[in-house]
Amino acid sequence: MKNLVVITVVSVLSALISVSVYKHFEEPQEVIIREQAPVRYTNYTDDLLSGNKQRTFLSSSPTNFTKAAEAVTPGVVNIKAYSGGSIDWWSSNYGGSSGSGVIISPDGYIVTNNHVIEEGNQIEVTLNDKRKFEAKLIGTDPSTDLALLKIDADQLPYLVFGNSDSIRVGEWVLAVGNPFNLESTVTAGIVSAKGRSIDILEGEYKIESFIQTDAAVNPGNSGGALVNTNGELVGINTAIITRSGRYEGYSFAVPANLARKVIRDLKDFGTVQRGILGIGIDEVNSELAEDLGLNSVEGVYVTRVTKGSGASDAGIKRGDVIISINSLKTSTIPELQEKVARYRPGNKVAVEYIRDGRKYKTDVVLKNKSNTTALVGENSMLRDLGFELRDLSDSERRKLKTEGAYVVSITRGSKIERTNMDPGFIITKVNDRTVKNVDDLISLLKNASGKVMLEGVYENYPGEYYYAFPI
């Protein structure tokens, strides 16, 4: 026990002597403690990776969204559509559809999704200040899922269109809706991707080139606004991908540049003026890129060119790869379709393409589905009756062994719609007189009076069909 005490005392004395000697010979040092500045984003690196250092990244957009939200919410409205009868608007089960809309002019024009109002013939709009209006349907475009409404009001708050081409992946955006009875909702997220196609729309001429974001969009927000941090409208919120029926991180919006053109057409003509190149297209994959000697796997491959089309007139051929429209890249089919869909028949677009490893540019005059530059609705009779027509192609005439006028689309609420005619009907006779083409049909209608009987066929249904209406 005595030995243990002696050892402990000797150890303590040795330590004290060592510290005293060190302090005597070592000069005093000043220690400074610095507070490190906060870093928004740090790229953590491993010391084994030579040349890599920590860096900071500052977002190009502000992360304070209050100004944008305050500016935008008054211009986003609630929309309810129903089919006749009385309705309890406060009930969640009123037998109609509900969504959001965006005021785009002070005199009451409102854009929303077609699927929000397609099931109803009566539409009520509730403003952010709780005023209610009955809305008139100006026109719809199922190929982009857009619709244009009008309410009888003025001096309304409205949203200004931004340039959807300028938004970048990773940029902050806000999704603003007016769902159910919640008045308004604002959620924030970033642009996840551009030019997305999710195969939700129908029809030969559907346009799917969505802006994908992770801003929360739930049922009731369809038709609402996607805005940048300046409060500019860059998209119309349209769809989500979900397994549960609720938001799961994927929402999609129609780009504002496309929406603006569709809305202008609906306002001016009641229908969309669709300009087309007149080509068949396919994606460029790695094998095709290698076969064609392309430097990258992007662009749109031309599989066929319609005779007499704008593309044919401009010298585009099968096997060409289109890489831009009016200097805007077209890396994928959705991007090409969206860029072209911004223009009307008769408009000229600059097309850049690759052929045999070399780049070329040419100007293409867009045409319509009938392969002319005429605008739909230029003939007031067809516009008033409510349908869009085109001539049958040579292949359709051979296959069907008939001539006639093909019904491309029918305007909601029109005389033609009330006959229960469907798009795809081929008119072969008017009041028992033969119709060879659209010009024949127009001539016969101009000379008709009283009751008109249209006779014709559908490609996939046997027998003849008849539709009558007064003129």
Residues annotated as part of the active site: 115, 145, 222
Please name the residues in contact with 28: beta carbons below 8 A apart, sequence gap of 6 or more.
Answer: none
Output helix, strand, coil percentages for the chain, rounded to the nearest 5: 20, 30, 45
CB 457 within 8 A of CB 402: yes
What is the rounded distance in angstroms from the CA atom of residue 239 to the CA atom of residue 196? 12
What is the rounded distance in angstroms from the CA atom of residue 225 to the CA atom of residue 279? 33
Host H or E run for residue 108: none
First-to-last C-alpha distance (Å) of the chain: 125
**Token code pair at residue 270:** 């009641």
Q: Which residues of 284-295 are buried (b: 16+ CB within 10 A; e: fewer)?
A: beeeebeebebe
Sign of CA dihedral 94, 97, 101, 107: negative
DSSP secondary structure string for all residues of 275-319: -B--EEEEE--HHHHHHHT-SSS-SEEEEEE-TTSHHHHTT--TT
- CB-based burial label for 35 (10 Å; 0-12, 13-18, 19+): exposed
CB 362 within 8 A of CB 386: no
Give me the residue label for tokens 């406060």: 90
DSSP secondary structure string for all residues of 452-469: EEEEEEETTEEEEEEEEE
Which of 133, 130, 109, 112 lies closest to 220, judged by CA?
112
Q: From the CB of residue 227, how many other CB atoms can be counted at a distance below 10 Å?
A: 29
Task: Write the CA distances from 304 to 170, 286, 337, integer angstroms.
Answer: 37, 20, 16
DSSP secondary structure string for all residues of 32-51: ---PPPP-S------TTSTT
Q: What residue type is 50 in one-letter code?
A: S
Q: What residue type is 57 in one-letter code?
A: F
**Token code pair at residue 65:** 């969204």
CB 113 within 8 A of CB 236: yes
**Token code pair at residue 457:** 């066929």
